[in-house]
Structure 1
Amino acid sequence: MGEATAREFATHGARAIVIADVQDEKGQNTAVSIGSNLFTYVHCDVSDEEQVKNLVESTVKAYGRLDIMFSNAGMGRSTHACDQSVLDMDLAAYALKGEAMRPKNVADAVVFLASEDSQFVTGHDLVVDGGYRGSSNISFSIDNIANPLNLSWDIVHLRYDFINFNFEKLLSAEATGEATAREFATHGARAIVIADVQDEKGQNTAVSIGSNLCTYVHCDVSDEEQVKNLVESTVKAYGRLDIMFSNAGMGRSTHACDQSMLDMDLAAYDKLMAVNARGMAACVKHAAKAMVEGRVRGSIVCTASKATSAGYHKFIDYVMSKHAVLGLVRCASMNLGAYGIRVNCVSPGMVGTPLLKDMLGYENEEEDKVVESTYTLKGEAMRPKNVADAVVFLASEDSQFVTGHDLVVDVGYRG
């Protein structure tokens, strides 16, 4: 894993990399094979804190700073005398079918987490497991491994310019949808269809991205027939559907009440659920059917929310709807893995968007101050583009073995 990640960092432009291990011959050979002008090897036993301290200090002294640390040291068991810590894995237990996962697939996730494309992702466990279902027909043991990869890196900002897709379909012209459409265009999407009920804004966004690349279609996702027609017309126009970003949603359907438990307006509840939960299910259903029929190993990304990990004293219908999205993603990933289709969601924390401003009733500057006060990671306020970067990662082949996962982009939200 350490070797594969070192090679991925080199591919993505790292200028100086230090490999540290107790396997001296292997570490030195890896450094030489990648390039001695870029890589160096240092012996380090991470169970000895003084050696770790000296490793970091020598790296900073040699390169001036330490930008990224990939701590990959670990062992499967400390002795072959007994199987006290043997890991049991059934390689047939992947829910996502197609091929076996390799160290490079994990390395791709590490590079994403180290890059500025995950600038507002912190405290997060990015699971790369192919939708592992956890049976134990095949067993194997791992020998002693201790290979942290320490990187002194001058170029941290990475771009994924090798995404394998023909087009992307977005279901919102709002802030996050628009930002994501622009990111897909930047990363090489050849055809993008934006669908929304906000016709003027959707059409203007499509024109600004480029009419040769992006088109707009009116679609109310609460009407399944409109979703079905949208997907079918897209496939008819472009031949296939590779990626669906299902971003449709509303914060509240009425300003008459805050949807707390004692004064919940169930008519407003039904209207919101028709978009946020039922509409999301319709989008996943018809995108999946198009991918299965077209034999496309596609990617479906839904917008959930940080609200899926907590309750709230108001906006109960919104919170419930986002819990439903997470359940949908987990179930759909199991259903569709046999076809090689990945289903994930991105859960933004408090990000400056018109939806948040409407829900909380803040003006722009006030909104930024309130939003930043909830972050554990300080520096600046999160923007829709930061969420878009996470969506692009989940849609790309760099997340080839990530499915059924909720990628939380919340800047370490404190609640």
Structure 2
Amino acid sequence: MARGVYIHIPFCHQICNYCDFNKVYFKNQPVDEYIEAVGREIEMAVRKTPEQFQNLETIFLGGGTPTALTANQITRLLHHINTLLPTKQLVEFSSEANPDELSVDKLEALRSGGVNRLSMGVQSFDQKLLEKIGRTHTNEHVFQTIQQAKRVGFDNISIDLMYGLPGQTMEQWEDTLEKALELDLPHYSAYSLIVEPKTIFYIQYAKGKLNLPTEDLEADMYDLLMRRMKEKEKIQYEISNFAIDGHNSTHNKIYWDNDEYAGFGAGAHGYMSGIRYSNHAPIKKYIETINNNDQPILHKHEVTNEEKCEEQMFLGLRKNEGVSFETFETKFGVSMKELYGKEIAKLALEGLIIEDEKGVRLSRKGRFVGNEIFQQFLLG
């Protein structure tokens, strides 16, 4: 049963150099037709298995850039969502946004359509770095848009930051953190750069032309991030996420809890009834499939019990609360220690995880090498 719904909007006015998500330039795209196709996809899914959406908690509009749409297009999209899904019961209804695209009419359209949380891609407060990574907004856009959002009625606002960027210095990162925290927002996300295939940065990296910070510098940046957030009473509840009480991302917690969610839109991924699936990514193919009254699913994978156990560990350990012994055994009918006793003992001895009567979680030291720790829980 789906706890959440993810809806992919693949349109952008500018393609970022690090982004590997399914996206296309907005210009000359069948945007209106795409919005109608998303509505029909949701309708088909709800009609087929209405019981799957009865306990829906969250909806997340991602991309691409949802705010690349016009205000009228946003209104139309949200009309479909509110008509077809039980949105009145939602705990959280989020939309990603770009600071230089979030005009007052778009903010009002989002708010009127039920969106109650904004996740803004700020990344840096250094203009040269922004240009280097392919962002088009300025600091003034960020400050102005946040004030406008508050006036429209948004009080749950998050911004994304990035570190480990090409040529980024500790001084630049410290300045970005200072400016971000001066905004005193309820939620912050901060991610280290990962150079993904099929991105501009990957091409530059392959040619030896991407000047990345050293691993030690990146670790120092992460250390500074955790210290600054703690000083400002933004509680770290996941490896990359910080919030004041009551403002943790409910939608992302669905992923980290390894619970089920539906994915709609071109290239969207979902996890329903024990099956992970992904949709056709090309927009034309996606729309054609919908117009033929078929679900646009390209790949399906029935997750084995072994894979579920692995995912419960490496997703759950991202959370500061870690993975519960009781929850693990209830879900899988086997104790965590029976499967992973040796790994837990070894990692605890090395000071990378903490074990108590409730379960296991990463130590502060372990947060720096999370990916290496997660690999220890692969059973294959």
Fold in common (TM above 0.5):
no
After TM superposition, the score normalised by the length of structure 2 is: 0.31
Q: Does 1 or 2 have the higher relative contact order (CA < 8 Å, sep 6+)?
A: 1
Q: Which has the larger radius of gyration?
A: 1
Greater share of strand: 2
